[in-house]
Amino acid sequence: MVSTFAYKPGDHEAEKASNGYLMSLIAVIAGLPLPIINLIATFIFYLGNRKGTYFVRWHCTQALLSQFSLLAMNSVGFWWTVSIVFKDVEISNQYISYMITVFLFNLIEFIATIYTAIQTRKGIHISWWFYGDLTNAIVRK
Amino acid sequence: MEKLFLKLFIIVAIFFATLWCLRQVDWMTLFNVKKISQSTEEKLGELYWDIYRKMEHETEDKKITVPIDSLLTRICMKNEIDRAKVKLHIIRKDDINAFALPDHHLVLFTGLIEDCENEAELCGVIAHEMAHMENGHIMKKLIKEVGLSILISMTSGNASQDIAQNAIKVLSSTAYDRNLESDADITGADYLMKADIDPEAFAGFLYRMSSREKDYPKQLFWISTHPGSEERTKAIINYISDKNYQKKMVLDSTQWAQLLLSVKED
Protein backbone atom coordinates (compact mmCIF):
# COMPACT_ATOMS: atom_id res chain seq x y z
CA MET A 1 0.00 0.00 0.00
CA VAL A 2 1.42 3.40 -1.04
CA SER A 3 0.85 6.04 1.59
CA THR A 4 2.06 9.53 2.28
CA PHE A 5 4.93 9.83 4.69
CA ALA A 6 5.30 12.57 7.27
CA TYR A 7 7.87 14.33 5.07
CA LYS A 8 9.57 13.97 1.67
CA PRO A 9 12.69 11.83 2.22
CA GLY A 10 16.02 12.88 0.71
CA ASP A 11 17.90 10.75 -1.83
CA HIS A 12 20.43 9.56 0.76
CA GLU A 13 17.63 8.46 3.11
CA ALA A 14 15.78 6.65 0.32
CA GLU A 15 18.94 4.72 -0.54
CA LYS A 16 19.53 3.61 3.06
CA ALA A 17 15.89 2.63 3.58
CA SER A 18 15.92 0.66 0.33
CA ASN A 19 19.12 -1.11 1.42
CA GLY A 20 17.25 -2.39 4.48
CA TYR A 21 14.97 -4.40 2.19
CA LEU A 22 17.86 -5.50 -0.01
CA MET A 23 19.62 -6.73 3.09
CA SER A 24 16.65 -8.85 4.05
CA LEU A 25 16.37 -10.04 0.44
CA ILE A 26 19.97 -11.26 0.37
CA ALA A 27 19.44 -12.74 3.82
CA VAL A 28 16.38 -14.67 2.60
CA ILE A 29 18.53 -16.29 -0.11
CA ALA A 30 21.48 -16.94 2.21
CA GLY A 31 19.23 -17.99 5.06
CA LEU A 32 17.11 -20.56 3.25
CA PRO A 33 18.86 -23.49 4.94
CA LEU A 34 19.14 -21.73 8.29
CA PRO A 35 16.28 -19.27 8.77
CA ILE A 36 17.87 -17.54 11.78
CA ILE A 37 20.45 -15.97 9.41
CA ASN A 38 17.66 -13.82 7.83
CA LEU A 39 16.76 -12.37 11.13
CA ILE A 40 20.32 -11.81 12.32
CA ALA A 41 21.35 -10.05 9.08
CA THR A 42 18.31 -7.78 9.07
CA PHE A 43 18.71 -7.13 12.79
CA ILE A 44 22.36 -6.10 12.36
CA PHE A 45 21.35 -3.69 9.61
CA TYR A 46 18.55 -2.39 11.84
CA LEU A 47 21.02 -1.80 14.70
CA GLY A 48 23.35 0.05 12.35
CA ASN A 49 20.55 2.40 11.31
CA ARG A 50 18.58 2.76 14.52
CA LYS A 51 19.93 6.27 14.97
CA GLY A 52 19.16 7.17 11.36
CA THR A 53 16.40 9.45 10.15
CA TYR A 54 12.74 8.60 10.74
CA PHE A 55 12.25 7.34 7.16
CA VAL A 56 15.29 5.03 7.38
CA ARG A 57 14.36 3.71 10.83
CA TRP A 58 10.75 3.16 9.78
CA HIS A 59 11.65 1.02 6.77
CA CYS A 60 14.41 -0.92 8.55
CA THR A 61 11.88 -1.79 11.26
CA GLN A 62 9.27 -2.91 8.72
CA ALA A 63 11.89 -5.12 7.02
CA LEU A 64 12.92 -6.58 10.41
CA LEU A 65 9.36 -7.27 11.55
CA SER A 66 8.50 -9.08 8.36
CA GLN A 67 11.45 -11.40 9.02
CA PHE A 68 10.00 -12.57 12.35
CA SER A 69 7.02 -14.32 10.80
CA LEU A 70 9.28 -15.90 8.17
CA LEU A 71 11.65 -17.06 10.91
CA ALA A 72 8.84 -18.87 12.73
CA MET A 73 7.50 -20.54 9.56
CA ASN A 74 10.92 -21.46 8.13
CA SER A 75 12.26 -22.77 11.45
CA VAL A 76 9.43 -25.28 11.70
CA GLY A 77 10.07 -26.32 8.08
CA PHE A 78 13.82 -26.56 8.70
CA TRP A 79 13.59 -28.76 11.80
CA TRP A 80 10.87 -30.89 10.23
CA THR A 81 13.23 -31.53 7.29
CA VAL A 82 16.14 -32.30 9.65
CA SER A 83 13.94 -34.82 11.48
CA ILE A 84 13.08 -36.51 8.18
CA VAL A 85 16.70 -36.71 7.02
CA PHE A 86 18.34 -37.71 10.31
CA LYS A 87 15.60 -39.20 12.48
CA ASP A 88 12.69 -41.60 12.14
CA VAL A 89 10.16 -39.05 10.87
CA GLU A 90 8.81 -39.92 7.42
CA ILE A 91 7.78 -37.71 4.51
CA SER A 92 4.02 -37.23 4.62
CA ASN A 93 1.29 -35.23 2.91
CA GLN A 94 1.30 -32.88 5.93
CA TYR A 95 5.00 -32.18 5.46
CA ILE A 96 4.71 -31.51 1.71
CA SER A 97 1.63 -29.29 2.23
CA TYR A 98 3.44 -27.33 4.93
CA MET A 99 6.56 -26.85 2.79
CA ILE A 100 4.46 -25.61 -0.17
CA THR A 101 2.61 -23.17 2.12
CA VAL A 102 5.91 -21.90 3.52
CA PHE A 103 7.30 -21.59 -0.01
CA LEU A 104 4.27 -19.55 -1.12
CA PHE A 105 4.54 -17.19 1.87
CA ASN A 106 8.30 -16.80 1.28
CA LEU A 107 7.63 -16.05 -2.38
CA ILE A 108 5.02 -13.40 -1.56
CA GLU A 109 7.42 -11.84 0.95
CA PHE A 110 10.24 -12.01 -1.59
CA ILE A 111 8.24 -10.23 -4.32
CA ALA A 112 6.89 -7.66 -1.86
CA THR A 113 10.42 -6.98 -0.62
CA ILE A 114 11.79 -6.42 -4.16
CA TYR A 115 8.88 -4.11 -5.02
CA THR A 116 9.25 -2.16 -1.77
CA ALA A 117 13.04 -1.85 -2.20
CA ILE A 118 12.54 -0.32 -5.67
CA GLN A 119 9.79 2.05 -4.58
CA THR A 120 11.59 3.10 -1.41
CA ARG A 121 14.69 3.87 -3.46
CA LYS A 122 12.53 6.33 -5.44
CA GLY A 123 11.48 7.90 -2.16
CA ILE A 124 7.95 6.43 -2.34
CA HIS A 125 6.67 5.28 1.05
CA ILE A 126 5.27 1.72 1.04
CA SER A 127 3.45 0.58 4.14
CA TRP A 128 2.68 -3.18 4.26
CA TRP A 129 -0.61 -4.52 5.45
CA PHE A 130 -0.29 -5.33 9.19
CA TYR A 131 3.51 -4.84 9.27
CA GLY A 132 3.13 -1.14 8.38
CA ASP A 133 0.63 -0.64 11.22
CA LEU A 134 2.90 -2.52 13.60
CA THR A 135 5.88 -0.39 12.53
CA ASN A 136 3.83 2.79 13.08
CA ALA A 137 3.10 1.58 16.61
CA ILE A 138 6.79 0.90 17.34
CA VAL A 139 8.81 3.64 15.59
CA ARG A 140 8.68 7.12 17.01
CA LYS A 141 9.33 10.26 14.98
CA MET B 1 -4.53 -1.73 18.57
CA GLU B 2 -7.66 -3.90 18.00
CA LYS B 3 -7.28 -3.34 14.28
CA LEU B 4 -3.69 -4.58 14.52
CA PHE B 5 -4.71 -7.81 16.26
CA LEU B 6 -7.51 -8.32 13.75
CA LYS B 7 -4.99 -8.04 10.89
CA LEU B 8 -2.62 -10.45 12.66
CA PHE B 9 -5.50 -12.88 13.11
CA ILE B 10 -6.37 -12.60 9.39
CA ILE B 11 -2.74 -13.34 8.37
CA VAL B 12 -2.61 -16.41 10.65
CA ALA B 13 -6.02 -17.51 9.35
CA ILE B 14 -4.83 -17.17 5.72
CA PHE B 15 -1.74 -19.27 6.56
CA PHE B 16 -3.76 -22.10 8.09
CA ALA B 17 -6.47 -21.89 5.38
CA THR B 18 -3.74 -22.28 2.70
CA LEU B 19 -2.27 -25.20 4.64
CA TRP B 20 -5.68 -26.82 4.98
CA CYS B 21 -6.46 -26.44 1.25
CA LEU B 22 -3.08 -27.90 0.25
CA ARG B 23 -3.56 -30.74 2.73
CA GLN B 24 -6.56 -31.92 0.66
CA VAL B 25 -4.18 -32.98 -2.14
CA ASP B 26 -2.47 -36.40 -2.00
CA TRP B 27 1.05 -35.11 -2.68
CA MET B 28 2.71 -38.45 -1.91
CA THR B 29 0.93 -40.06 -4.88
CA LEU B 30 1.26 -36.97 -7.06
CA PHE B 31 5.03 -36.76 -6.62
CA ASN B 32 5.53 -40.55 -6.63
CA VAL B 33 7.46 -40.18 -3.36
CA LYS B 34 7.33 -43.90 -2.55
CA LYS B 35 8.32 -44.96 -6.08
CA ILE B 36 11.32 -42.61 -6.08
CA SER B 37 12.61 -43.85 -2.70
CA GLN B 38 11.99 -47.45 -3.81
CA SER B 39 14.03 -47.00 -6.99
CA THR B 40 16.90 -45.40 -4.98
CA GLU B 41 16.86 -48.40 -2.63
CA GLU B 42 16.86 -50.83 -5.57
CA LYS B 43 19.87 -49.14 -7.17
CA LEU B 44 21.79 -49.07 -3.86
CA GLY B 45 20.95 -52.72 -3.13
CA GLU B 46 22.22 -53.80 -6.55
CA LEU B 47 25.37 -51.68 -6.25
CA TYR B 48 26.27 -52.90 -2.71
CA TRP B 49 25.58 -56.54 -3.46
CA ASP B 50 27.72 -56.39 -6.62
CA ILE B 51 30.64 -55.07 -4.57
CA TYR B 52 30.07 -57.36 -1.59
CA ARG B 53 29.87 -60.59 -3.55
CA LYS B 54 33.28 -59.88 -5.06
CA MET B 55 34.72 -59.53 -1.55
CA GLU B 56 33.17 -62.71 -0.08
CA HIS B 57 32.35 -66.23 -1.19
CA GLU B 58 28.64 -66.99 -1.59
CA THR B 59 27.62 -70.62 -1.34
CA GLU B 60 25.17 -72.09 -3.87
CA ASP B 61 25.10 -75.48 -2.09
CA LYS B 62 21.47 -76.63 -2.26
CA LYS B 63 21.89 -78.61 0.99
CA ILE B 64 22.32 -75.24 2.70
CA THR B 65 20.20 -72.87 0.64
CA VAL B 66 17.06 -75.04 0.36
CA PRO B 67 16.43 -75.53 4.12
CA ILE B 68 17.16 -71.85 4.87
CA ASP B 69 14.84 -70.90 2.03
CA SER B 70 12.10 -73.02 3.68
CA LEU B 71 12.54 -71.12 6.96
CA LEU B 72 12.46 -67.76 5.19
CA THR B 73 9.42 -68.74 3.10
CA ARG B 74 7.44 -69.74 6.21
CA ILE B 75 8.16 -66.36 7.87
CA CYS B 76 7.30 -64.44 4.69
CA MET B 77 4.13 -66.35 3.84
CA LYS B 78 2.63 -66.16 7.33
CA ASN B 79 3.36 -62.43 7.53
CA GLU B 80 2.16 -61.53 4.02
CA ILE B 81 5.64 -60.46 2.94
CA ASP B 82 6.40 -61.04 -0.74
CA ARG B 83 9.02 -63.83 -0.65
CA ALA B 84 10.11 -63.04 -4.22
CA LYS B 85 11.45 -59.63 -3.24
CA VAL B 86 13.82 -61.07 -0.59
CA LYS B 87 17.21 -62.02 -2.02
CA LEU B 88 18.81 -64.61 0.24
CA HIS B 89 22.61 -64.93 0.23
CA ILE B 90 24.59 -67.42 2.30
CA ILE B 91 28.24 -66.45 2.79
CA ARG B 92 30.88 -69.05 3.68
CA LYS B 93 32.54 -67.49 6.69
CA ASP B 94 33.10 -68.51 10.31
CA ASP B 95 32.07 -65.15 11.74
CA ILE B 96 28.72 -65.12 13.52
CA ASN B 97 27.00 -62.47 11.47
CA ALA B 98 23.84 -61.65 9.52
CA PHE B 99 22.76 -58.35 8.03
CA ALA B 100 20.48 -56.77 5.50
CA LEU B 101 21.43 -54.60 2.53
CA PRO B 102 19.00 -52.21 0.80
CA ASP B 103 16.32 -53.66 -1.48
CA HIS B 104 15.76 -56.79 0.64
CA HIS B 105 19.18 -58.46 0.32
CA LEU B 106 19.44 -60.78 3.33
CA VAL B 107 23.00 -61.95 4.04
CA LEU B 108 23.62 -64.87 6.43
CA PHE B 109 27.06 -66.26 7.37
CA THR B 110 27.59 -70.00 7.71
CA GLY B 111 29.24 -69.26 11.09
CA LEU B 112 25.90 -68.00 12.39
CA ILE B 113 23.96 -71.02 11.08
CA GLU B 114 26.49 -73.33 12.70
CA ASP B 115 26.16 -71.55 16.03
CA CYS B 116 22.35 -71.83 16.21
CA GLU B 117 21.17 -74.65 18.46
CA ASN B 118 17.85 -75.08 16.66
CA GLU B 119 15.89 -73.71 13.70
CA ALA B 120 13.85 -71.34 15.89
CA GLU B 121 17.04 -69.47 16.86
CA LEU B 122 18.02 -69.08 13.21
CA CYS B 123 14.45 -68.04 12.35
CA GLY B 124 14.72 -65.43 15.12
CA VAL B 125 17.76 -63.84 13.49
CA ILE B 126 16.10 -64.00 10.04
CA ALA B 127 12.87 -62.46 11.41
CA HIS B 128 14.88 -59.72 13.14
CA GLU B 129 16.67 -58.81 9.90
CA MET B 130 13.38 -58.99 7.99
CA ALA B 131 11.91 -56.53 10.50
CA HIS B 132 14.79 -54.12 9.77
CA MET B 133 13.95 -54.41 6.05
CA GLU B 134 10.19 -54.09 6.36
CA ASN B 135 10.35 -51.16 8.80
CA GLY B 136 12.71 -49.18 6.55
CA HIS B 137 15.59 -49.22 9.08
CA ILE B 138 18.31 -49.90 6.49
CA MET B 139 17.82 -46.69 4.54
CA LYS B 140 17.43 -44.74 7.79
CA LYS B 141 20.76 -46.09 9.04
CA LEU B 142 22.48 -45.36 5.73
CA ILE B 143 21.15 -41.81 5.60
CA LYS B 144 22.26 -41.24 9.18
CA GLU B 145 25.72 -42.78 8.83
CA VAL B 146 26.62 -42.11 5.20
CA GLY B 147 24.52 -39.04 4.34
CA LEU B 148 21.73 -38.49 1.87
CA SER B 149 23.78 -36.59 -0.72
CA ILE B 150 26.42 -39.36 -0.91
CA LEU B 151 23.70 -42.01 -1.28
CA ILE B 152 22.11 -40.10 -4.16
CA SER B 153 25.50 -39.66 -5.85
CA MET B 154 26.05 -43.44 -5.51
CA THR B 155 22.80 -44.21 -7.34
CA SER B 156 23.92 -42.03 -10.25
CA GLY B 157 27.32 -43.74 -10.30
CA ASN B 158 29.24 -40.67 -9.17
CA ALA B 159 30.66 -42.09 -5.95
CA SER B 160 33.89 -44.05 -5.70
CA GLN B 161 34.14 -47.75 -4.85
CA ASP B 162 35.68 -46.83 -1.46
CA ILE B 163 32.61 -44.87 -0.46
CA ALA B 164 30.32 -47.75 -1.44
CA GLN B 165 32.53 -50.23 0.48
CA ASN B 166 32.36 -47.96 3.50
CA ALA B 167 28.54 -47.98 3.28
CA ILE B 168 28.56 -51.80 3.19
CA LYS B 169 30.83 -51.83 6.23
CA VAL B 170 28.36 -49.57 8.03
CA LEU B 171 25.52 -52.02 7.32
CA SER B 172 27.45 -55.21 8.07
CA SER B 173 29.52 -54.28 11.10
CA THR B 174 28.11 -51.27 12.94
CA ALA B 175 25.19 -51.09 15.33
CA TYR B 176 21.72 -49.79 14.61
CA ASP B 177 20.16 -47.15 16.78
CA ARG B 178 18.81 -48.62 20.07
CA ASN B 179 15.22 -47.64 19.19
CA LEU B 180 15.49 -49.32 15.80
CA GLU B 181 16.86 -52.49 17.44
CA SER B 182 14.01 -52.65 19.94
CA ASP B 183 11.54 -52.03 17.14
CA ALA B 184 13.08 -54.86 15.05
CA ASP B 185 13.03 -57.19 18.10
CA ILE B 186 9.33 -56.67 18.70
CA THR B 187 8.36 -56.81 15.01
CA GLY B 188 10.58 -59.89 14.62
CA ALA B 189 8.86 -61.56 17.60
CA ASP B 190 5.48 -60.82 15.97
CA TYR B 191 6.68 -62.36 12.69
CA LEU B 192 7.81 -65.49 14.55
CA MET B 193 4.56 -65.89 16.49
CA LYS B 194 2.49 -65.50 13.31
CA ALA B 195 4.71 -68.11 11.63
CA ASP B 196 4.17 -70.52 14.58
CA ILE B 197 7.85 -70.34 15.54
CA ASP B 198 8.95 -70.00 19.16
CA PRO B 199 10.22 -66.40 19.77
CA GLU B 200 11.61 -67.43 23.16
CA ALA B 201 14.35 -69.31 21.30
CA PHE B 202 15.51 -66.03 19.76
CA ALA B 203 15.58 -64.39 23.20
CA GLY B 204 17.63 -67.37 24.39
CA PHE B 205 20.01 -66.97 21.46
CA LEU B 206 20.56 -63.30 22.30
CA TYR B 207 21.24 -64.16 25.93
CA ARG B 208 23.68 -66.93 25.02
CA MET B 209 25.54 -64.63 22.66
CA SER B 210 25.82 -61.83 25.21
CA SER B 211 27.24 -64.21 27.82
CA ARG B 212 29.93 -65.34 25.35
CA GLU B 213 30.75 -61.84 24.15
CA LYS B 214 33.63 -61.36 26.61
CA ASP B 215 35.35 -64.58 25.55
CA TYR B 216 35.07 -64.24 21.75
CA PRO B 217 34.51 -60.56 20.99
CA LYS B 218 35.95 -60.63 17.47
CA GLN B 219 33.91 -63.48 15.99
CA LEU B 220 30.58 -62.41 17.40
CA PHE B 221 29.89 -59.68 14.88
CA TRP B 222 26.14 -60.02 15.10
CA ILE B 223 26.06 -59.45 18.83
CA SER B 224 28.54 -56.55 18.72
CA THR B 225 26.31 -54.87 16.13
CA HIS B 226 23.25 -55.57 18.27
CA PRO B 227 24.24 -54.21 21.70
CA GLY B 228 22.36 -54.37 24.99
CA SER B 229 21.43 -58.01 24.47
CA GLU B 230 20.53 -58.76 28.08
CA GLU B 231 17.96 -55.96 28.27
CA ARG B 232 16.65 -56.90 24.86
CA THR B 233 16.25 -60.53 25.95
CA LYS B 234 14.13 -59.35 28.89
CA ALA B 235 12.09 -57.03 26.65
CA ILE B 236 11.30 -59.87 24.23
CA ILE B 237 10.38 -62.25 27.07
CA ASN B 238 8.10 -59.59 28.59
CA TYR B 239 6.48 -58.92 25.24
CA ILE B 240 5.67 -62.54 24.48
CA SER B 241 4.72 -63.54 28.04
CA ASP B 242 0.99 -62.83 27.58
CA LYS B 243 0.78 -63.86 23.92
CA ASN B 244 -0.60 -67.12 22.61
CA TYR B 245 1.35 -68.81 19.85
CA GLN B 246 2.00 -72.24 18.49
CA LYS B 247 5.35 -73.97 17.99
CA LYS B 248 5.52 -75.85 14.71
CA MET B 249 8.79 -77.04 13.23
CA VAL B 250 9.60 -76.09 9.63
CA LEU B 251 12.40 -78.65 9.20
CA ASP B 252 12.41 -82.05 10.80
CA SER B 253 15.34 -83.06 13.01
CA THR B 254 17.06 -84.92 10.14
CA GLN B 255 16.86 -81.90 7.82
CA TRP B 256 18.23 -79.61 10.55
CA ALA B 257 21.06 -82.03 11.30
CA GLN B 258 21.82 -82.31 7.58
CA LEU B 259 21.94 -78.52 7.29
CA LEU B 260 24.42 -78.23 10.17
CA LEU B 261 26.50 -81.02 8.68
CA SER B 262 26.62 -79.30 5.28
CA VAL B 263 27.63 -76.03 6.89
CA LYS B 264 30.42 -77.75 8.85
CA GLU B 265 31.65 -79.60 5.76
CA ASP B 266 32.40 -76.25 4.18
Where are chain A's structural domains?
11-138
The count of C-alpha atoms lying within 13 angstroms of the C-alpha of A133, restricted to the half-sphere facing its C-beta, is 10
Distance CA B62, CA B76 (A): 20
Cross-chain residue pair B144–A97, CB shorter than 8 Å? no
Distance CA B142, CA B168 (A): 9
Distance CA B119, CA A51 (A): 80
B151 chain-A contacts, CB cut-off 8 A: none
Interchain CB contact of A79 with B (< 8 Å): no
Interface of A with B in 9-68 (CB under 8 A): none
A69 chain-B contacts, CB cut-off 8 A: 11
Nearest to B226 by CA among B166, B172, B176: B176
A91 chain-B contacts, CB cut-off 8 A: 28, 33
Task: Mention every residue, 6+ apart, whose C-beta is less than 8 A from residue B199.
Answer: B120, B124, B188, B189, B192, B193, B236, B240, B245
- One pLDDT digit (tens) per residue for chain A, 141 residues: 556 565 666 677 777 778 878 877 776 666 665 667 767 777 787 787 777 888 888 888 888 888 888 888 888 888 888 887 776 677 888 999 999 999 898 888 888 888 888 888 888 888 888 888 888 888 877
Interchain CB contact of B179 with A (< 8 Å): yes
- One pLDDT digit (tens) per residue for chain B, 266 residues: 778 888 889 989 999 999 999 999 888 777 776 666 777 788 888 888 888 888 888 988 899 999 999 999 999 999 999 999 999 999 998 888 898 988 899 999 999 999 899 999 999 999 999 999 998 888 878 777 766 666 666 666 666 667 777 777 777 766 677 788 888 999 999 999 999 999 999 999 888 887 776 665 555 566 666 666 778 888 899 999 988 888 888 888 899 999 999 988 75
Cross-chain residue pair B4–A130, CB shorter than 8 Å? yes
DSSP B191-252: HHHHTT--HHHHHHHHHHHHHHTTT-TTT-HHHHTS--HHHHHHHHHHHHHT-------SS-
pLDDT of res. A7:
67
Query: What order do you get walking across the sheet with B105-109 strand by strand?
Result: B87-91, B105-109, B98-101
Q: Write down the ipTM of this complex.
A: 0.82
CA A103, A105, A108, A109 dihedral sign is negative
Nearest to B73 by CA among B59, B85, B61, B90: B85
Cross-chain residue pair B33–A91, CB shorter than 8 Å? yes
Distance CA A128, CA A105 (A): 14
Find the CB nearest A101 among B15, B26, B33: B15
Cross-chain residue pair B27–A85, CB shorter than 8 Å? no
Q: Which of B15, B21, B22 to mutate to test the interface with A (most CBs of A within 10 A)?
A: B22
Interchain CB contact of B6 with A (< 8 Å): no
Q: How does strand B87-91 pair with strand B105-109? A: parallel
Cross-chain residue pair A93–B27, CB shorter than 8 Å? yes
